[in-house]
């Protein structure tokens, strides 16, 4: 059961991201890529479902359905009420992680930082179907960039070293 101040922080996030302005037009669900990505529709994971549930019960935050959103911003772009659901989900997940709710999150295997919900990773792995590129999914974009930069430096120095040796 979450602490009282956590409940208040969830309510603040709902308020700050204007989620109380939702008038249930359904545009967000229509443009959301979750259906195509996960291959099934689930109202609880949709923006309206999340808004409805958390507005009625801000303590219901251990639910796995809060970790399905792909934070793509499509719903934010089309929402006629200006609700920034993507920012809300990002802030909410940060809040959950800060308070120790980590079981649905995946952390970089190099630096240990959070970078993706486990569900999202699972489905990407399924799409990649065990290909070599799967290994990269365990490393966050920052660490991947560092790795790439190191490879570039090695490649950039390689001809000079070879010329010197020759
Ligand atoms: S598009 Fe905006 S107003 Fe419409 S249901 Fe979604 S969040 Fe609510
Ligand atoms: S931000 Fe999340 S809820 Fe909004 S369209 Fe993208 S996946 Fe769907």
Burial 64-84 (b: 16+ CB within 10 A, else e): ebbbbbbeeebbbeebeeebb
Q: Which structural domain, as residue segments, surrounds residue 84? A: 4-103
* 49 part of a folded domain: yes
Per the structure, how many domains does the chain have? Answer: 1
Protein residue with its CA nearest to atom 1 in ligand 2: 71
Does residue 86's CB lie within 6 angstroms of at least one atom of ligand 2? yes
The mean pLDDT value of the chain amounts to 85
* 120 part of a folded domain: no
pLDDT tens for each residue of 114-166 = 989 999 988 888 887 766 666 777 888 888 887 777 777 776 766 555 555 55
* 149 part of a folded domain: no
pLDDT tens for each residue of 78-116 = 999 988 999 999 999 999 999 999 999 999 989 999 989
pLDDT tens for each residue of 57-86 = 878 888 899 999 999 999 999 999 988 999
Tell me the CATH number at 36: 1.10.1060.10
The predicted structure's pLDDT at residue 32: 93
Protein residue with its CA nearest to atom 5 in ligand 1: 24
From CA 90, how far away is CA 70, in angstroms rounded? 10
* 136 part of a folded domain: no
């Amino acid at each position: 059961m979450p602490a009282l101040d956590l409940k208040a922080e969830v309510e603040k996030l709902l308020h700050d991201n204007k989620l109380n302005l939702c008038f249930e037009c359904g545009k967000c669900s229509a443009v959301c890529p979750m259906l195509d990505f996960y291959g099934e529709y689930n109202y609880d994971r949709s923006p309206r479902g999340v808004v409805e549930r958390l507005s009625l019960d801000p303590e219901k935050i251990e639910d796995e359905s809060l970790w399905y959103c792909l934070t793509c911003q499509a719903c934010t772009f089309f929402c006629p009420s200006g609700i920034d659901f993507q920012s809300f989900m990002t802030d909410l997940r940060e809040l959950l992680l800060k308070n120790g709710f980590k079981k649905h999150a995946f952390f970089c295997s190099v630096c240990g930082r959070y970078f993706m919900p486990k569900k999202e990773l699972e489905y990407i792995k399924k799409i990649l179907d065990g290909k070599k590129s799967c290994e990269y999914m365990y490393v966050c974009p920052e660490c991947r960039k560092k790795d790439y930069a190191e490879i570039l430096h090695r490649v950039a120095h390689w001809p000079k070293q070879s010329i010197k040796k020759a």
